[in-house]
Structure formats: structure tokens, C-alpha cells
């Protein structure tokens, strides 16, 4: 890709990740300004290659409105971009680039190749065909603003004029893959408010040590709830993984952003785990009474070990103060209720996260009230647009964040270079 100098009619895109490459492809059309993409690394789409363990879960099978609702209080902001390019539109877009996709489990969508590289390479090939000028190993140090309008950027190699600028510089996670705060710094210098950054979709560290004794054990379906009275709605259901530092897995990752945010203002965050979200306390008590009558000679550990991994069963019994060797028939009603209550409300204390190095996305970023959701143009600087993780938007696991990156990249580009 050539290194011809830009002109005042150029569109400059900062960042050659998912959002930036999509923006470049959508902006590069006959009669449009020349598209220049500036990337600090030596290659494009490096973080894209790492997504989904390299398999690249880039969207999912939810309907558009259900998909949008999963962004919670950010739903109204993301709606215009996601309605303009929903999951089906994105799959068709990649089909046009000769990348077929499939959904092996009926929810997550991956390229048929099960390789993120196929998506990244297709995006780069499309950029080449459209004569997009991608420049690598280049630091963007500031924006040029004249009369309240973006007129170019300042790089480590000098100034570059432009009629429009799209900031798609990504977030702070994966620092070894180029993640950092450079894009946020550019936005801040332009007058934008940056909502404090913290890691999201990140494993959590527990104050208790018993999860470490269960490291490697996965529970297919549990519920995790944040035990903060002012935020009773923060909860998720899914699979959980015990780690050498605490807990992870999709259900934990989905609440980790909120917990990470709380941890910026407090030392610990209490959570509860419902090990059996599909059975009520009353149903458990009835089941326990039936066990007394049918299998009263079994030990409490044997009974619980038939339902949960034996190591976890031992932990639950210990937390409930029920002897593991006690016969089921001999359990008092109070012991039975304590046991059931522990199963339904297993307490844990979160003392930290594993940080941006293990986080999949960044929570925080450019304040949404300062950006027009219908165009993704700055309300502060005309001709300045945003796309992807630089905005204060983060979704749950399951292809939500990559879909947002692609959809927002498209909307920013089409707004910057209208037909």
C-alpha cells in the first residue's frame, strides 16, 4: 500500500483494527476522498487475530432488537449502528468477501475456517482492491483542529491534512498487542470527556482461597449476582470456570465490567453464585426431604457429589457447616436449610481483576453524550468521528463487541463520506 502524502480532501482513520478496517472499506468508493489508515503496529488487525481464541466469534444469532438490548443502558446509543448493520448484514458482508460463516451451537457465529485470520486477510484484501493507503509503525500524537473542525492529524512523521478524521484506535486491553490509551488521549486533547477506563470481560480474583482448590472445574450453568443493593439488576447466567486466582467463564466475564468499575471506588465487591438457577429453594427442600426417605443412609457428601463435582460438594458442605460424613436421614431441618441456602446463594468476595492484560474489552472511553449516535460524529469537533472500543460501549460475551466494532466502523465511515 502506497505512502503518498494525504491532502485536505483525505479521510484519515486512526487504527487498523476491526472498526478501522471496516470504516476504510465503507469509505473508499468512487469519487470519495482518499482513505488513509494510520496504524502504530507493524501489522493490521493484530487484536482481531486473538479474538475467540483465534476462532473469531464475530456476531451471533440473536435478532436485532434482542441483540441491542444486551448492551443494557448503552442500548439507545448503539441502536442506529446495529440496526444499519445487524448480524445478518455482517455475515452477508463477509460472504461478499468470500468468507463464509456458520453457527455450530446455534448462537455463536464463526468463520467456517474457524480462523480469525480469514476475516483479517479478507478485510486487508478488500482495502488493497479499493486502494486504501495503510501506513504502519506510525504514532498519532495529536489532532489538528481549526475553527472547531478537524483538519488533520499530527504524527511522528509530521502533519497530515484531512477533511474528516475517524478515531478507531481501540481500547486499553491486550497491551502486548498494541492496546493502550493513545486514542483516548487524542480524544481528551480534542475536548472530549473520557469515562474512567477499567478492564471488562476479564477473570476475577477472589479474596477467598477455596476457589483455587477447584481450579480447572467448570460448571455448565450457574447464576452470578452482584450483591450491591444499589445495583440489584447486575446478574448473568452461564458457565463458570474456577481458576488459580478466582473465577472466570462466560457468566463471570459478563458481570466483570460492572464489578471492575465498582472496584475503582471500593476495595471489595460481594457476589453470590446460584449453583442451581433452575430450581427454587422450595424445590430443593422438597428434594432433600425425598432423599431422607429414599436414600437416608447416604452421606451428605455422597448425595451432593452426585449433583456437583465432589470437590465443590465438599466446599459447599463446609460453608454450610454441614458435616460431609453425616447421614442424610440424620440432617436436621436447620442443616438442610443451611445447605440449600448455600447452594442457592454461595458467597464470594471479589478483590480484583486480572487486569487489562487478560481483559477482552475496555469499559469506559469517550463519553456517549458528546457523540451523535446517528452519525458517530463528535458534538464538540465537527468532522471528527468515533468507532469501536474508543467509545464508552462494552457488551457481553458472544460476538457483541466485534459486531459493534464493525457496525460502528461502517456508520462512522458512511457519515464521514456520505453518498
Per-residue model confidence as pLDDT tens digits over 28-58? 988 888 999 999 999 999 999 988 888 999 9
User: Residue 328 has what DSSP assignment?
Assistant: G
Strand order in the sheet with 149-155: 140-146, 149-155, 158-161
Q: 87-96 and 400-416 helices cross at what angle (nearest 10)? A: 70
pLDDT band at 2 (very low <50, low <70, confident <90, very high): very low
- % residues pLDDT > 70 (the chain): 97
d(C-alpha 69, C-alpha 147), whole Å: 38
Tell me which of 127-131, 210-214, 288-292 is least confident.
Answer: 288-292
d(C-alpha 78, C-alpha 373), whole Å: 7
Does the pLDDT value for residue 239 go beyond 90? Answer: yes
- Predicted confidence at residue 13, as pLDDT, reads 98
205/233: higher pLDDT: 205
Phi and psi at 183, nearest 5°, equal -65, -40
Does the pLDDT value for residue 4 go beyond 70? Answer: no
pLDDT band at 231 (very low <50, low <70, confident <90, very high): low
- Predicted confidence at residue 3, as pLDDT, reads 40
* CB-side neighbour CA atoms (13 Å) of 263: 26
- Predicted confidence at residue 232, as pLDDT, reads 64
Based on its alpha-carbon atoms, the radius of gyration of the chain, rounded to whole angstroms, reads: 25
User: How many C-beta atoms lie closer than 10 Å to residue 120's C-beta?
Assistant: 24
- Predicted confidence at residue 78, as pLDDT, reads 98
Average pLDDT of the residues in 307-316: 97
Kindly state the cell numbers that stand for 126.
478488500
Each residue's pLDDT tens digit, 138-189: 999 999 999 999 999 999 999 999 999 999 999 999 888 788 899 999 999 9
User: Residue 348 has what DSSP assignment?
Assistant: E
- Predicted confidence at residue 234, as pLDDT, reads 87
d(C-alpha 167, C-alpha 185), whole Å: 11
Do the Cβ atoms of 359 and 201 come closer than 8 Å?
yes
Average pLDDT of the residues in 296-325: 96
Does the pLDDT value for residue 8 go beyond 80? Answer: no
d(C-alpha 167, C-alpha 405), whole Å: 12
Beta-strand ranges (E) seen in 121-193 are: 133-135, 140-146, 149-155, 158-161, 164-167
Query: What domains can you pick out in the chain, each with its CATH number?
Result: 11-199+361-416 (3.50.50.60), 203-354 (1.10.8.50)
Does the pLDDT value for residue 229 go beyond 80? Answer: no
Tell me which of 5-19, 118-132, 136-150, 405-419 is least confident.
Answer: 5-19
Phi and psi at 370, nearest 5°, equal -95, 10
d(C-alpha 227, C-alpha 391), whole Å: 28
Closest CA to 19 of 408, 395, 415, 417: 408
Quote the mean pLDDT of the chain: 94
Average pLDDT of the residues in 319-339: 95
Secondary structure of 41-75 in HEC code, one letter for each residue: CCCCCHHHHHHHHHCCCCEECCCHHHHHHCCHHHH
Amino acid at each position: 500500500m502506497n505512502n503518498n502524502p494525504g491532502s485536505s480532501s483525505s479521510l484519515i482513520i486512526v487504527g487498523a483494527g476491526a472498526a478501522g478496517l471496516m470504516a476504510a472499506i465503507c469509505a473508499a468508493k468512487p469519487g470519495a476522498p482518499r482513505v488513509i489508515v494510520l496504524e502504530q503496529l507493524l501489522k493490521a488487525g493484530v487484536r482481531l487475530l486473538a479474538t475467540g481464541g483465534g476462532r473469531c466469534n464475530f456476531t451471533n444469532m440473536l435478532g436485532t432488537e434482542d441483540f441491542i438490548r444486551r448492551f443494557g443502558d448503552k442500548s439507545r446509543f448503539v441502536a442506529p449502528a446495529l440496526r444499519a448493520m445487524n448480524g445478518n448484514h455482517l455475515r452477508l458482508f463477509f460472504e461478499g468477501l468470500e468468507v463464509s460463516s456458520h453457527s455450530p451451537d446455534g448462537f455463536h457465529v464463526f468463520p467456517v475456517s474457524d480462523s480469525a485470520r480469514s476475516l483479517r486477510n479478507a478485510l486487508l484484501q478488500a482495502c488493497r482492491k479499493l486502494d486504501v493507503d495503510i501506513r504502519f509503525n506510525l504514532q498519532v500524537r495529536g489532532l489538528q483542529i481549526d475553527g472547531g473542525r478537524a483538519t488533520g492529524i499530527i504524527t511522528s512523521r509530521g502533519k497530515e491534512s484531512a477533511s474528516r478524521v475517524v478515531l478507531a484506535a481501540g481500547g486499553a486491553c491486550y497491551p502486548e498487542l498494541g492496546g493502550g490509551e493513545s486514542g483516548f488521549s487524542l480524544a481528551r486533547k480534542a475536548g472530549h470527556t473520557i469515562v474512567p477506563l477499567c478492564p471488562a470481560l476479564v477473570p476475577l480474583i477472589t479474596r477467598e482461597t477455596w476457589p483455587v482448590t477447584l481450579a480447572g472445574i467448570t460448571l455448565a450453568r450457574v447464576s452470578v449476582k452482584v450483591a450491591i443493593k444499589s445495583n440489584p439488576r447486575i446478574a448473568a447466567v452461564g458457565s463458570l470456570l474456577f481458576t488459580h486466582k478466582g473465577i472466570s467463564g462466560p457468566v463471570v466475564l459478563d458481570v466483570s465490567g460492572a464489578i471492575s468499575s465498582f472496584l475503582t471506588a471500593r476495595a471489595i465487591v460481594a457476589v453470590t453464585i446460584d449453583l442451581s438457577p433452575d430450581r427454587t429453594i422450595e424445590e430443593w427442600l422438597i428434594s432433600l426431604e425425598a432423599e431422607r426417605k429414599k436414600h437416608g443412609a447416604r452421606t451428605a457428601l455422597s448425595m451432593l457429589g452426585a449433583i456437583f463435582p465432589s470437590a465443590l460438594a465438599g466446599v459447599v458442605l463446609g460453608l454450610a457447616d454441614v458435616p460431609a460424613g453425616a447421614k442424610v436421614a440424620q440432617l436436621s431441618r436447620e442443616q438442610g436449610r443451611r445447605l440449600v441456602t448455600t447452594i442457592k446463594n454461595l458467597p464470594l468476595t471479589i478483590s480484583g481483576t486480572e487486569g487489562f492484560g487478560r481483559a477482552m474489552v475496555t469499559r469506559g472511553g469517550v463519553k456517549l453524550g458528546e457523540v451523535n449516535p446517528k452519525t458517530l460524529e463528535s458534538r464538540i469537533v465537527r468532522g471528527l468521528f468515533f468507532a469501536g472500543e474508543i467509545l464508552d460501549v462494552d457488551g457481553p460475551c458472544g460476538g457483541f463487541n466485534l459486531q459493534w466494532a464493525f457496525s460502528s466502523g461502517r456508520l462512522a465511515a458512511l457519515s464521514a463520506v456520505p453518498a
